[in-house]
Amino acid sequence: MDLAGKKLMILGAGRHQMPLIQSAIDLGLETHVCSIDGDYPGIVMAPNFHAVDISNQHQVLSLAKALQPDGILTTATDVCLQSIGTVVDELGLHGSGLNASSACLNKAILKQKLVESGVPTAQYRIVENANDAAEFFSDHSSSCVIKPVDSSGSRGVTKVSDVSEIQDAFQTAKSFSRTGGILIEEWLEGEEFGAQAIVRNKRCELLILHSDITTAPPRRIPVGHGCPHPEEDQLLVLVQNIVDDAIECIGINDTISNIDFILTENGPKIIELTCRMGGTRLPEVCGTYWGLDFYALAIQLALGLDVALPATPQGKPNAAHNLILDREGRLAEMDEVGDEFVHEIYFKKGQQIAVNAAQQAELGFVQLIRDDAIAISSDLVDEVNRLTNSVRIEVN
């Protein structure tokens, strides 16, 4: 594949963009990394760095007009998706345009498009106040969930099982919504799982299912994943059409799309989907099972190149789990993770750890990889869950 002379813009220079930047460099691309200036590891490794606010569409577009890249992408962050959509539209690049990225960033638009196209998703209503939410709640027999239309990382998303919880949940959602938009939807009972859809020329060329590990309600946050999903064969039959319809109605293109599902007793329903690959080490988890470098793949898609996809998985069953903490402080003590596990710890003893807006700090991750293809992946997920939960972390 001739990549020489091709120019790529990567938005974001944080820890989670580092493997994407490295892949672009390894592919021999002229790599332009964009981020606000600061103490970001991706800046140090960037062959070309541009200090711009990647959430600012105008700044990113004017830089893109000057650079004239052959492709633009990010991973693991949503803040720049509209900037990417704008550049894709204006420069006629491969990828998802502004309409698609705007829908992915606003659940009011996303849900409306899904419902109009008959894609299974939780029943919902946009609500102006807690009374509207209470009305929807009383019309539904199940629990509900209240969320901002335009947040991410489970921030401001709360399950409500009693009408008395609605006021607080509404206020919490409000405090995390940029536009103030709030929705309530029925809580879907069932297992959460996800998919990475490799989309080229508006078609899903490969659909990879994975299992999800989340924190317990009322606020579920994805913390780990396993691949393959233990019921992959049965589930693929159920979700392929749903995925095709969802991708088409949102207009997702030339990317790896992250899709979240709940497997209800009435079949799988979409919680949300987006025009970039998933975070929480999903590129590594799915890539390890299929024997694919997801970062290189996402770059090739963004450049509009053909991608060579194997017919069957060529890698190893595996599961990864973040090491997380729900309080801040200086790292005092942390159990060592055995060298038999793939793992990385981002902090050293004595270093200050800050929680994010979801009241969580990510300290590192552990990945379990099995050599034998017959390893039961649900066991792997349980094992990695147990292992990470047993790691003692103390801060003061």
Ligand X SMILES: Nc1ncnc2c1ncn2[C@@H]1O[C@H](COP(=O)(O)OP(=O)(O)O)[C@@H](O)[C@H]1O
Residues that bind ligand X (CB under 6 A): 122, 145, 147, 151-155, 157, 185, 187-188, 192, 214, 220, 222, 260, 262, 271-272
Quote the tokens at residue 373.
């293809």
To ligand X, the closest distance from the beta carbon of 190 in angstroms equals 8
| Beta carbons of 384 and 321 less than 8 angstroms apart | yes
CB contact set of 135 (below 8 Å; sequence gap of 6+): none
Specify which residues 343 forms β-bridges with.
366
Residue with the shortest CB distance to ligand X: 220
Min dist CB 156 to ligand X, Å, is 7
What is the rounded distance in angstroms from the CA atom of residue 333 to the CA atom of residue 147?
Answer: 36
Q: Order across the sheet with 352-353: list the strands.
A: 352-353, 329-334, 393-395
Nearer to ligand X, 286 or 334 (CB): 286
CB of 224 to ligand X, least distance (A): 13
Please, are residues 308 and 287 in contact by the beta-carbon 8 Å criterion? Answer: no
> Shortest distance, CB of residue 278 to ligand X, whole angstroms?
11
Q: Which is nearer to ligand X, 7 or 220 (CB)?
A: 220
Nearest residue (CB) to ligand X, 187 versus 341: 187
Alpha helices in the chain (DSSP H): 18-26, 41-45, 57-67, 81-91, 98-105, 107-116, 130-138, 166-176, 232-250, 282-290, 294-302, 377-390
- Residue 298's φ and ψ, nearest 5 degrees, are -60, -35
Cβ(229)–Cβ(377) below 8 Å: yes
Taking the complex as a whole, the smallest distance from the CB of residue 53 to ligand X amounts, in Å, to 22
Query: What tokens does 264 get?
Result: 């209800």
Residue 127 burial by Cβ neighbours in a 10 Å radius (0-12, 13-18, 19+): buried
Nearer to ligand X (CB atom), residue 64 or residue 173:
173
Residue 192 or 248 having the CB closest to ligand X? 192
Nearer to ligand X, 174 or 220 (CB): 220
- CB 158 to ligand X: min, Å: 9
| Residue 221: CB minimum distance to ligand X, A | 7
In whole angstroms, give the CA distance from residue 106 to residue 169.
19
CB 122 within 8 A of CB 269: yes
Residues shown for the chain: 396
Q: Which is nearer to ligand X, 271 or 391 (CB)?
A: 271
Side by side, the strands of the sheet bearing 71-73 are 48-51, 30-35, 7-11, 71-73
CA 299 from chain centre, in angstroms, equals: 17
Q: Taking the complex as a whole, how short is the minimal distance between the CB of residue 194 and ligand X, in angstroms?
A: 9
Minimum distance from CB of 217 to ligand X (Å)? 7
Nearer to ligand X, 154 or 318 (CB): 154
Residue nearer to ligand X on the CB measure, 104 or 296: 104
